[in-house]
Amino acid sequence: MLFTLANSPQSCDLTAFLRLVGPQDALLLVQDGVLAAVKNSEASKCLTAWGLPVYVLSEDLAARGLIGQILHSTTLIDYTGFVALTEKHPQHIAWR
């Protein structure tokens, strides 16, 4: 399943969200959700601890001036990559 996080990790319960994610799932950070991948943030520590594949929409990251400030364990993707993720994971849950 593909999970997307669009809100800032400060405005949602990231820990509760991560309990829903299984080993075959993926997480895509979009809009203000990209803030969860900022190095040394509490949210990034949670993401690292769970060890799931995390993708970050590069356009949203650039719009927030955060290029080069995110975890190295994340994968930057563009909208084409977003489409590829939805093809790989036909089920989708948007977390807000």
pLDDT number for residue 49: 84
Q: Indicate the SS3 state at residue 1.
A: coil
CA distances from 20 to 39, 50, 70, 72, 81 (A): 23, 11, 23, 24, 23
Contacts of 17 (CB under 8 A, 6+ apart): 3, 5, 95
| CATH architecture of the domain formed by 2-95 | 3-Layer(aba) Sandwich (3.40)
On average, the pLDDT of the chain sits at 91
3, 95 contact by CB (below 8 A): yes
Contacts of 95 (CB under 8 A, 6+ apart): 3, 4, 5, 6, 7, 12, 17
Q: Is the pLDDT at 84 greater than 90, yes or no? A: yes
Nearest to 35 by CA among 2, 63, 16, 3: 63
Q: Name the residue ranges covered by the structural domains of the chain.
A: 2-95
pLDDT number for residue 7: 92
pLDDT number for residue 12: 85
The tens digit of pLDDT for each residue in 27-55 reads 999 999 999 999 999 898 888 888 889 99
Q: What is the pTM of this model?
A: 0.92
Q: Is the pLDDT at 57 greater than 80, yes or no? A: yes
Task: Provide, rounded to the nearest whole percent, the portion of the chain with pLDDT above 70.
Answer: 100
